[in-house]
Amino acid sequence: GINVVTPNKKAYSGDVQLWKDILEASSSQGGGRYLNEATVGAGLPVISTLKELLGTGDKIIKIEGVFSGTMSYIFNEFSTGREGGPAFSAVVGVAREKGYTEPHPADDLNGFDVARKLTILSRIISSFPTSSPSTLPPLQSFKSVKTASLIPPELEGIPTGDEFLARLPAHDAQFAKLREEASKEGKVLRFVGVVDVKGGEVRAGLEKYPTTHPFATSLGGSDNIIMFHTERYSPRPLIIQGAGAGAAVTAMGVLGDVLKLV
């Protein structure tokens, strides 16, 4: 019977039984509402837009986007579509200095933050009777998302961020090779998340996009950008973009949810 507003992703992307318990508690007589706009995109209207699309009868074909402000910054700086550029480890180091990464950069490079956000969106889609969730795999938790970590296998389990950054330069060549291959194709590298309802797949990982694509041309700093491909918004998707991290915009997302309860 208590309304809950939170930017915390854990309850909505962890064990599926907890998610089902939340739905049941909210739908029961006298149950409280749960509002979690800030769990995906901070203050960006991502969850509210998804719920309005589904609530008005639209069908989601695919959602794809750059959901991590940290990954956005790293690859905006690292991969521009031009030949050459800074070393991957150097970009990660600057991102850490600017406060874009967690104290341990591996906590961003493992892709789990994106996987949690995709789990939240996927579960929202499956909770609407008008959607077509049958093609989506059942996500027992965010660990069910097909996530391609950017942590080199040799650096898995390193206990401190300082040691991780000290050893990351040894792997710069492999990231530079990926950038070179993309630039030769006229493309950039971006760490994206995809909820492919039609294809029945939820995945997060590094993908290549043409230099003319919005993921290449529209992003700056630590911006997020999310595309909704739906029956209504097709072939041109509905696009939401803007700052997806930071205290001010996260507070905006939380306060916006509180105001919905007034």
Torsion over CA of 161, 165, 167 and 173, rounded to 10 degrees? Answer: 140
* Pairing relationship of beta strands 201-210 and 146-147 according to DSSP bridges: parallel
Provide the strand spans (E) within 12-129. Answer: 34-35, 60-66
Q: Which residues are annotated as a binding site for NADPH?
A: 9
| Distances from the Cα of 190 to the Cα of 3, 79, 206, 210, angstroms | 37, 8, 6, 10
> Is 187 marked active-site?
no
CA-based R_g, the chain, Å: 19
Q: Take residue 54 and report the two structure tokens written for it.
A: 């589904």
Count of CB atoms situated within 10 Å of the CB of 58: 19
Torsion over CA of 60, 66, 67 and 70, rounded to 10 degrees? Answer: 180
Q: Which residues are annotated as a binding site for L-homoserine?
A: 102
Annotated catalytic residue within 10, 20, 51, 117: 117
Which among 37, 36, 30 is positioned nearest to 2, based on CA atoms? 30
Interatomic CA distance for residues 176 and 166, integer angstroms:
18
**In degrees, to the nearest 5, what angle opens at C-alpha 229 toward C-alphas 249 and 208?**
80
Residues with active-site annotation:
117
